[in-house]
């Protein structure tokens, strides 16, 4: 899978710089979802989704990531609310993503490159917040879809919905997060599906501290 797609999909973490890939289909899908008035059923589903996310204190799972060009990657994710996550991609991918609760660090060992963004500037900050709110503050629910055994909620930035979207997919019943789909500012779409999910597990706090495997790589401050 292309490096840009890996970074886009890793927890829907950050907007990426412009890239060469932008298919016609994705260009159309990257437009801001047209907001529909939320029904009482929609609002009930949002409340259930928020409660389901808030109920996850710790999580470990395998993930399968796919982009619109057919590229795939797999790995293991650990999450601990509030704010902590680690996405370790299986070889041959060289990407590692770590959130320590404040900063999200991206490391690519293939090019020996480290970069970082504030957690609060990423959708992961919303998912792992102490108080999960999908339709409050900077976040706005643009669409809710409910089908038998499935609930999908699309969230955009309230002030700038055209910058991209995050769609959360929950299995029902009970409501459990199973997948998220990211469309970034450049129209790149990546889907991350969770499987072999374990919740309430004990996680070594050291997993959420980024330690460069090469002393020559500067650590973000």
Domain ranges of the chain: 3-14+45-208
pTM listed for this prediction = 0.80
Q: Please identify which residue in the block is written with the tokens 């495997």.
A: 213
Instruction: Specify the pLDDT at position 59.
Output: 96
Burial, 80: exposed, middle or buried (Cβ in 10 Å; 0-12, 13-18, 19+)?
buried
Fold of 3-14+45-208: outer membrane lipoprotein receptor (LolB), chain A (2.50.20)
Neighbours of 102 (CB within 10 A): 12
Per-residue 3-state assignment (H helix, E strand, C coil) for 175-213: CEEEEEEEECCCCCEEEEEEEEEEECCCCCHHHHCCCCC
101: left (phi over 0), alpha (psi -120 to 50) or beta: left
Q: What is the pLDDT of residue 213?
A: 65
- CA terminus-to-terminus distance, the chain: 29
8 Å CB contact between 8 and 190? yes
Measured CA to CA, the distance from residue 181 to residue 166 in angstroms comes to 6
Predicted pLDDT of residue 56:
93
> What confidence score (pLDDT) does residue 186 get?
80
Name the residue among 117, 42, 86, 48 with its Cα closest to residue 204: 86
Q: What is the pLDDT of residue 214?
A: 58
- pLDDT score at 33: 52
Low-confidence ranges of the chain (pLDDT < 50): 2-31, 215-221
Rounded CA separation 39/145 (Å): 11
């Amino acid at each position: 899978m292309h490096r840009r797609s890996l970074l886009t999909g890793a927890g829907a973490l950050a907007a990426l710089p412009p890239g060469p890939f932008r298919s016609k289909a994705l260009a159309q899908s990257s437009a801001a979802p047209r907001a529909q008035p939320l029904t009482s059923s929609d609002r009930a589903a949002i409340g259930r989704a928020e409660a389901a996310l808030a109920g996850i204190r710790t999580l470990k799972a395998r993930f399968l990531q796919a982009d619109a060009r057919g590229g795939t990657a797999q790995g293991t994710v650990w999450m601990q609310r509030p704010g902590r996550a680690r996405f370790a991609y299986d070889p041959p991918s060289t990407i590692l993503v770590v959130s320590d609760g404040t900063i999200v660090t991206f490391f690519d060992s293939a090019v020996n490159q480290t970069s970082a963004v504030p957690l609060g500037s990423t959708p992961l900050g919303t998912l792992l917040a102490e108080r999960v709110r999908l339709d409050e503050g900077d976040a706005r629910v643009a669409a809710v879809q409910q089908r038998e055994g499935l609930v999908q909620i699309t969230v955009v930035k309230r002030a700038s919905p055209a910058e991209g979207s995050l769609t959360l997919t929950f299995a029902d019943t009970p409501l459990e997060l199973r997948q998220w789909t990211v469309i970034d500012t450049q129209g790149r779409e990546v889907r991350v599906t969770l499987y072999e999910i374990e919740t309430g597990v004990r996680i070594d706090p050291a997993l959420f501290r980024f330690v460069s495997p090469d002393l020559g790589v500067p650590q973000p401050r």
